[in-house]
Amino acid sequence: PKTKQWWKEAVVYQIYPRSFKDSNGDGIGDLRGIIEKLDYLQELGVDVVWLSPVYKSPNDDNGYDISDYQDIMDEFGTLADWDELLHQMHARGMKLVMDLVVNHTSDEHHWFIESRKSKDNPYRDYYIWRPGKDGKEPNNWQSFFSGSAWQYDEATGEYYLHLFSKKQPDLNWENEKVREEIFNMMTWWLDRGIDGFRMDVINLLSKVEGLPDAPVTNLDDRYQWGGQYFVNGPKLMDYLREMKEKVLSKYDIMTVGETPMVTTDDAIRFTNEQDGVMNMLFQFEHMDVDTKPGSSLGKWDIQPWKLTDLKKIMSKWQVELHGKGWNSLYLENHDQPRSVSRFGDDKMYRVESAKMLATWLHMMQGTPYIYQGQEIGMTNVAFPSIEYYRDVETINLWNDVVVNKGYDPDKILKAIHYRGRDNARTPMQWDATKHAGFTTGTPWIDVNPNYCDINVEQAMKDENSVFHYYKKLIRLRKEHPIIVYGSYELLLEDDEQIYAYVRKFNDEQLLVITNFSSEQPTFILPAHITFTEKQLLISNYAVDENESIDTIVLKPYEARVYKLK
């Protein structure tokens, strides 16, 4: 259970290609743009790049709707560009993890174009088709992106299932031909030399027989949350075991499953090294700490979060997976708002709190993920009206609740400012020139207006920047095995300002002290933490190395890490 693995020691950087770097002035990031920035990533020190989808796609959901798994999106370049990218990454000692989106395809995938033609088409059974019930949808399931999860199709008079947008029909994993096609496609990419997969909503593949109606929990809507019929469904483990046996086990790669709504027990089932089906996963509990439970607006009903709740969640995952499974550590990705705006202070203490959050996350057990721009402390954006937004989830929400149901537009716009996915999708801020150096053309989505202050060029020049701090955190992980392999113990369980914990490995301890507030609380070292030597590994304020740590008056958003012996 304590085996050494390269993917436990790695730091992953996620690129959302559309927003990373545009090389040809069409306003859309592309593969050549990524190649231009590989030296930057090498300088940062990351080991692995996870590339959000770059496959052919009509971009209803920015590439998460794939129309050809074995070719590159026109806007992003060609397969030759992709080969060059892989080659250039490997030449720098970096690995490439590709996004695997196989719960659904685009409705423009040739399988679906065939499938919708007739009930006896050989591809019919590649998707989930059902006749209507009493002139309505086959069941009452709600799509993740608002409205019904079913779309009526004229040609055959039946409905198809789409858990996400109506341009993302769900594949029928019961059909062994579908599984074979997917496994062959995965093998094709692995044989081209990739180093792993990030598996999009991989725990939604198996739907309960009969697709029953979901219980009515939301009186505000005709459509209901049906998760119990497709999250960790009955045949999921069979499918994933088959995938492991036929494909994954043949390569030295890393796999990370995106698995909404999993418990720690599920996570151990999925990631244990004896008979698990993936190396690690993304769980979402900490991403729900600021969501009002049971609200009809789901993630858009925001509540202030409490540090003690975050402690309970993170500590449970740290303790319960230790020695039994493996977790990913993340605060941001292309679906989440910016962490410094959400858990820190994106105004006065932006730099301090971005460093504090990085310390807090990177010193835990698990493989850390950095989302593009997080390493320079990029913030949320507040566009003035819905017209500025591009995300299908956000636009569908607006149409559903504001246009159709008459909710207060100001309230919903505020929720979008806080929670919308486009917060993470504004272009990467490279420098202070027009459009932040992202493009010479017109960007597909506006740049965050704060790019003159927050950008890579500035951050690289300033030795006290968030960027240089991340560099150091990444280096520390390489130098101190305790960061990767140590156990975890929470300190000061009830404190609402200070999050402190200890990692233990052999005769060493790592003491991590972080202040999540703009105040100056006093840290008191619990009596059971004893040591004879101490060494400060990193801090976000200047610290006198000889200062006693029995009692520390912390500065706003202060973070310190000590190695104790």
- Residue selected from 9, 26, 174, 496 as contacting Ca ion according to rule CB under 5 A: 26
- Out of 41, 161, 186, 201, which residue is the one contacting ligand TEU (CB under 6 A)? 201
- Of 396, 467, 431, 455, nearest to 166 (Cα)? 396
Helices (H), 94-164: 110-115
83 near Ca ion (CB under 5 A): no
Between strands 196-199 and 254-258, the pairing is parallel
Q: Give catalytic residue positions.
A: 200, 258
Sole binder of Ca ion in the list 15, 16, 30, 259 (CB under 5 A):
30
21 binds, among Ca ion, ligand TEU, none (CB under 5 to 8 A by kind): none
Between 147 and 556, whose beta carbon lies closer to ligand TEU?
147
CB of 158 to ligand TEU, least distance (A): 23
User: Does residue 24 bind Ca ion (CB under 5 A)?
Assistant: yes
Cβ of residue 362: shortest distance to ligand TEU, in angstroms? 22
Q: Which does 332 bind (CB under 5 to 8 A by kind): ligand TEU, Ca ion, none?
A: none
Rounded CA separation 205/235 (Å)? 8
Contacting residue, 7, 20, 76, 144, with ligand TEU by CB under 6 A: 144
Put the strands of the sheet holding 328-329 in their side by side order.
280-282, 254-258, 196-199, 95-100, 48-51, 12-15, 367-371, 328-329
Hey, what amino acid is at 110? H
CA distance 224 to 213: 8
In terms of CB distance, is 76 or 127 closer to Ca ion? 76
Q: How far, in Å, CA of 105 to CA of 495, rounded?
A: 46
List beta partners, residue 515: 498
Please answer whether residues 139 and 212 qualify as being in contact, where contact means their C-beta atoms are separated by less than 8 angstroms. Answer: yes
Contact between 389 and ligand TEU per CB under 6 A: no
Residue 28 interacting entry, from ligand TEU, Ca ion, none, C-beta within 5 to 8 Å by type: Ca ion
Site membership for ligand TEU, residue 61 (CB under 6 A): yes
Residue 398 binds ligand TEU, judged by CB under 6 A: no
Minimum CB–partner distance for residue 371 and ligand TEU (Å): 11
Q: Restricting to residues 253-272, name those near ligand TEU by CB under 6 A.
A: 258, 260
User: E strand or H helix at 476, and its extent?
Assistant: helix 466-479
Provide the 8-state DSSP code for 403: I
Residues in CB range of 443: below 8 A, 6 or more apart: 22, 27, 427, 435
| Residues in region 314-343 near ligand TEU by CB under 6 A | 334-335
DSSP annotation of 295: -
Q: Quick check: 98 binds ligand TEU (CB under 6 A)?
A: no
| Binding status of residue 107 toward ligand TEU by CB under 6 A | no
Q: How many residues bind ligand TEU (CB under 6 A)?
A: 14
101 binds ligand TEU (CB under 6 A): yes
Minimum distance, C-beta of residue 37 to Ca ion, in the bound complex (Å): 13
Smaller CB distance to ligand TEU: residue 56 or 435? 56
CB of 76 to Ca ion, least distance (A): 8
* Chain centroid to CA 270: 18
The C-alpha atoms of residue 25 and residue 290 are separated, in whole angstroms, by 39
Q: Which stretch binds Ca ion (CB under 5 A): 23-31, 39-47, 155-163, 513-521?
A: 23-31
Stretch (H or E) spanning 369: strand 367-371
- Find out whether 385 and 53 touch, Cβ atoms under 8 Å: no
State which residue, 429 or 465, has the beta carbon closest to Ca ion: 429
Task: Report whether 418 contacts 411 (CB < 8 A).
Answer: no
Q: Tell me how long the chain is.
A: 565
Angstrom distances, CA of residue 82 to CA of 34, 43, 91, 543: 10, 21, 14, 46
- Nearest distance, CB of residue 56 and ligand TEU, angstroms: 15
Q: Note whether 474 binds ligand TEU by CB under 6 A.
A: no
Q: Which two tokens stand for residue 61?
A: 């959901």
78 near Ca ion (CB under 5 A): no
End-to-end CA distance of the chain: 25
Q: From the CB of 149, what's the least distance to ligand TEU, in Å? A: 12
CB of residue 286 to ligand TEU, shortest distance in Å? 13
Q: Reduced to 3 states, what is the DSSP secondary structure of residue 355?
A: helix
Alpha carbons 4 and 42: distance in angstroms, whole number: 23
- 28 is an interface residue for Ca ion by CB under 5 A: yes
Task: Please report how close the Cβ of residue 60 comes to ligand TEU at its closest, in angstroms.
Answer: 10
Q: Contacting ligand TEU (CB under 6 A), which of 21, 109, 162, 299?
A: 299
Angle, vertex CA 126, rays to CA 120 and CA 127, nearest 5: 95
State how far the Cα of 34 lies from the Cα of 26, in Å rounded to an integer.
15
Kindly indicate which of the ranges 28-36, 158-166, 211-219, 520-528 contains the residues binding Ca ion, using the contact rule CB under 5 A.
28-36
Q: If residue 174 lies in a helix (H) or strand (E), which one and from where to where? A: none
Residue 107: C-alpha distances to residues 61, 103, 350 (Å): 12, 13, 42
47 binds, among Ca ion, ligand TEU, none (CB under 5 to 8 A by kind): none
CB of 20 to Ca ion, least distance (A): 10
3-state secondary structure of 219: coil
Residue 400 binds ligand TEU, judged by CB under 6 A: no
Structure tokens at 494: 């009830």
Does 22 bind Ca ion (CB under 5 A)? Our answer is yes
Residue nearest to Ca ion (CB): 30
Q: Which is nearer to Ca ion, 33 or 377 (CB)?
A: 33
Binding pattern for the stretch 64-83 against ligand TEU, x by CB under 6 A and - elsewhere? x-------------------
285 is an interface residue for ligand TEU by CB under 6 A: no
Element (H, E) at 456: helix 456-461
- Residues in contact with ligand TEU by CB under 6 A are 61, 64, 101, 144, 164, 200-201, 258, 260, 299, 334-335, 393, 421
- Residues in contact with Ca ion by CB under 5 A are 22, 24, 26, 28, 30
